[in-house]
Amino acid sequence: MPKNCPHCHEETFGWRELVTLDSFTPEECKNCHKLVRNSGWRQLLAPLAIISIILAAIPLSEFLPSDKTVFLIPIAVIVLPLVLVLIAKPVKAGDPQVDLSPFTPDPNNDKTILIQGWNEDELRRILDDFVEQDLTAFAAFRIEIQKRFENSFVLVFPEDIHPAEFVSLINYLAYPIDLDATGRGILVAGKTTLNSDFDGLPKSLAGKKAILYIPDNDEDHDVVYLKTESSMTLAKSFNEVAWQPVKDPRLPNTIESLAW
């Protein structure tokens, strides 16, 4: 049962890779060569599931003739790796977050994300998967879903969210690991007031309102664009630390109405 790379979304992780994939030692995707690790939460579930299977098997062994219990060994050899494969969830192995600016959550923050194209069940699944990636360098946060229309929602953050994770979530909503967005007309756009917590931005942009989005005709799947109210456009790849100025904003027509 192969699983998709969270970067390029190709089925590059077969059962052998999934058995050995862990949360602490990233492995390289064979297709895009980006680093991937196992979800920390899934890594925790694996031993719990194995222990549960063993505890369930002990009473069953009492009903087997003593000369037949030896057959439990090959079954265990098959079942235990299968559990590891089924539970494994490849996630992006982010760069170390030790250089992030100090962050004090602001309950009065104006960070919002508009999302269209996913239904509510799909959206909740995407958000659960995102939180499950266990980005422990960040402060705890809560996401509140506000429904606007059918398959149209606004996400707000009553306790705030680190800007780096805010940017990452915008990208993840467009490219979730286990859902196919082909033909779905997915729209994702974030709005906020910039401040010094946004690492890699020019200091002159502090206090400016901005819209964050996935660029039109995106083929990278790991970049987010930012356009300020003064029409300055920058882009940030997850492989880079700083936001880079770009000449072509590549602003999708569906987001034009959200811009200042």
Summary mean pLDDT of the chain:
81
Distance of alpha carbon 200 from alpha carbon 101, whole angstroms: 10
Average pLDDT over residues 214-241: 91
Q: 59 burial class (0-12, 13-18, 19+ CB within 10 angstroms)?
A: exposed
What is residue 249's predicted lDDT score, i.e. its pLDDT? 94
Distance of alpha carbon 252 from alpha carbon 238, whole angstroms: 21
With a cut of 90, say whether residue 34 has pLDDT above it: no
Read off the pTM. 0.68
Please list, in sequence order, all residues whose beta carbon lies within 8 angstroms of the beta carbon of residue 40, skipping any fewer than 6 positions away.
23, 132, 133, 134, 136
Q: Which residue has the higher pLDDT, 128 or 102?
A: 128
Average pLDDT over residues 77-98: 65
pLDDT in tens, 158-213: 999 999 999 999 999 999 987 888 888 899 999 999 998 998 999 999 999 999 99
